[in-house]
Structure 1
Amino acid sequence: MIFAILLMDRPGTAQLRVEVRPEHRAYLAQQAERMAFAGPLTSEDGKTVVGSLLGMDFPSRADVDTWLKDEPFTKAGVYEKPIIHVFNNMWEQKVGFPPAK
């Protein structure tokens, strides 16, 4: 089932996020086949990162928690407490969105 995982950054962790980002991306890449969507959340300026939003396929919430426990931003203390819910996609995916940068 798809889980929507909302991960807001703790205040004052912008530099830590930059430092840990390569490890974070490598960890996500190990689960690429599980990804429905993933990316940073930004402030209204479109540049200042304030967190992350992931949609990932896991068998259970316990599996999400286990995976998230070892996630590099989590381990480094970038993220505050996660908000996790089952996500039921009721809208057809659109084709042609611009690719991630």
Structure 2
Amino acid sequence: MFGGKTNGKKSPMLYLRICFDKPDMLARRDEYRQAHRAYLASGVVKLVQAGPMMADDDSHNIGSFMVVEAEDLESVKKFHDEDPFTKAGIFDEVRICRWDRHIG
């Protein structure tokens, strides 16, 4: 169960984190990829799904997509702000919003 109350405690909610890269960020992604992956593995938040978004011709990354389980929106924003990809200035546009899973 997500986003409800269990034994009087607020249960975790799901959030989408959708990040579109600035143009020509492949080299910068490569430079920060190891630090980015280590950060994701650190358990700051629980990742339900995550991975790069790809160009239609599969030639390069165009951004990142994540489903994150967290207590609140502020936790996800803090997680985003501390991501090495964010600190490296890779992203052009970022959307973080609550997600209510119905199927899957």
TM-score range, shorter chain: 0.7 to 0.9
Range that drifts further, 19-28 or 39-48: 39-48
Structure showing greater relative contact order (alpha-carbon pairs closer than 8 Å, 6 or more residues apart): 1
Runs of 5+ unmatched residues, structure 1? 93-101
1:76 aligns with 2:76: no
TM-score by length of 2: 0.82
Cα distance in structure 2, aligned partners of 1:47 and 1:4: 24
The one-character-per-residue Cα deviations of 1:23-55 (angstroms, maximum 9, x if unpaired) are 000000012871110000001122310000000
Larger radius of gyration: 2
State the Cα distance separating 1:64 from its structure 2 match: 0.9
- Superposed, which structure 2 residues align to 1:1-101 within 5 Å? 1-31=13-43, 34-92=46-104
Number of aligned positions between the proteins: 92
AA partner of residue 86 (structure 1): R
The one-character-per-residue Cα deviations of 1:50-71 (angstroms, maximum 9, x if unpaired) are 0000000111111111111110
TM-score by length of 1: 0.85
- Pick the structure with more strand per residue: 2
Runs of 5+ unmatched residues, structure 2? 1-12
Percent sequence identity is 28
Query: Structure 1 residue runs of 4+, over 2 Å off?
Result: none
Cα distance in structure 2, aligned partners of 1:69 and 1:13: 18
